[in-house]
Amino acid sequence: MATPALFKPLSLRSLEVQHRGWVSPMCQYSCDPVAAPGVPHDWHLMHLGSFAAGGAALILTEAAAVNAAGRISPRDAGLYNDEQAAGWERIVSFVHRHGVADTKIGAQLAHAGRKASTYWPFSGEKGSVPVSDGGWGTVGPGTAAFDGFAPPAAMTDEDIRAVIADFTASAVRAVDAGFDTIEVHGAHGYLLHQFQSPLVNDRTDTWGGDAAGRNRLTLAVVDAIRNVIPDSMPLLLRISATDWAEGGIGIEDSVHLASQAAEHGVDLIDVSSGGAVAHQRIQPGPGYQTGFAARIRRETGIATGTVGLLTSPGQAEHVVATGQADGVFIARAALRDPHWWLRAAFELGHDMRWAPQYERAVPRHAF
């Protein structure tokens, strides 16, 4: 039987990814905000390690903030000090040792901007965390707040250049920790997306105005990281292909950004959508974002990954086999079934290695 498209390898620079089924970044909001802020620990190792044992070929970490103020919540992970880097290095080593698909792992580097210092989803609270409860002041392109959050301080040119330096330093830490790739988080209404979106960025200086100005920070971060990581290491960029709101980013804007990103050394666009404003009108459905990835791939030639309500192996196989994307990122479906990729291989008729400890459970007739 021919190898299913989902299980064919993909080369990104010198990185060989064994198949096209990957783990999307998923924040766990599980770091200790007092004893070890931003430091990943046993929960993160178990969470990501289960996907490695379950057959994922590429795992992206949750958003790792590039400085303390860039964390989405006080319980978010970071990659801006040595203790955090050591925590990630332990997880990277574990994934490399136990991944049954020669699993690769990438660090997603992020800054939440005006959406930082918020309560985590299962806290029982909503909105911004006050300083008295462990929160901090936030920053953004301007002073307009995301609905229900505290207003940010408008970033100065010096602030912006400091954030670029923070992304660069975190990238160096990621390389030193043994990560196989890096993804820049430029989506979901976080800082880089805030600068990209005309619904948020009303600056008139070099970091705003037209599309070139609004995309300048994202491309500057890409350039800075590309300059400090090995040429052999692929660089990924997650974007929101549309703001789902009138006057915001549309797919044409994202095609243009993806084309520029490719020229600046990005190797794959991880295509998501939304998050810039609360009044967005998303139209969800199975694979509802895949068309964006397909258009970017078709019109720019850059590799793309797609995500969003892709839950079954048959769906994922169809997306890759028809050339809509080069890879499929699995999120909530992976939380429900950390062995999603082993099940996918069985359902698609692909012979995939299992961990020897689990071989007695290899299915013969039904998963």
Is 142 a member of any domain?
Answer: yes
Domain assignment present for 153? yes
DSSP 118: B
List 29, 80, 119, 190, catalytic entry? 190
Greatest Cα-to-Cα distance within the chain, rounded to the nearest angstrom: 64
Task: List alpha helices for 143-289, DSSP H.
Answer: 157-176, 191-196, 211-228, 251-263
Neighbour-count burial of 356, counting CB atoms closer than 10 A to its CB (0-12 exposed, 13-18 middle, 19+ buried): exposed
Determine, yes or no, domain membership for 189: yes
* Confidence at residue 283, expressed as pLDDT on a 0 to 100 scale: 87
103-155: pLDDT as tens digits: 999 999 999 999 999 999 999 999 999 999 999 999 999 999 999 999 999 99
Question: Number of helices (H) and strands (E), helices first, in the chain?
Answer: 10, 12
* CATH label of the domain that carries residue 193: 3.20.20.70
Number of other residues whose CB lies within 10 A of the CB of residue 363: 11
358 a catalytic residue? no
| Main-chain phi, psi angles of 239, to 5 degrees | -130, 160
With cut-offs at 50, 70 and 90, classify the pLDDT of residue 330.
very high
- Span 201-238, pLDDT tens digits: 999 999 999 999 999 999 999 999 999 999 999 999 99
Q: How many domains does the chain have?
A: 1
Kind of pairing between the strands at 181-186 and 303-306: unpaired
Give the position of tokens 């619904």.
Answer: 199
| Stretch 352-366: mean pLDDT | 91
173-186 b/e with 16+ CB inside 10 Å = b?
Answer: bbbebbbbbbbbbb
Question: What is the residue range of 354's domain?
Answer: 5-361
- The percent of residues above 90 in pLDDT, for the chain, comes to 98
Is residue 330 situated within a structural domain? yes
| Domain assignment of residue 122, yes or no | yes
Instruction: For strands 181-186 and 104-110, give the pairing.
Output: parallel
* Domain membership flag for residue 366: no
Please report the sign of the dihedral spanned by the C-alpha atoms of residue 284, residue 9, residue 323, residue 275: positive
Instruction: Assess whether pLDDT exceeds 80 at residue 1.
Output: no
Contacts of 336 (CB under 8 A, 6+ apart): none
Residues 145-184 have pLDDT tens digits of 999 999 999 999 999 999 999 999 999 999 999 999 999 9
Contact, 289 vs 271, CB < 8 A?
yes
Q: For residue 366, what pLDDT band results from cuts at 50, 70 and 90?
A: confident
What are the distances in angstroms from CA 28 to CA 44, 46, 121, 135, 182? 8, 12, 10, 18, 19
What pLDDT is attached to residue 88? 99
- 207 inside domain: yes
- Residue 367 within a domain: no
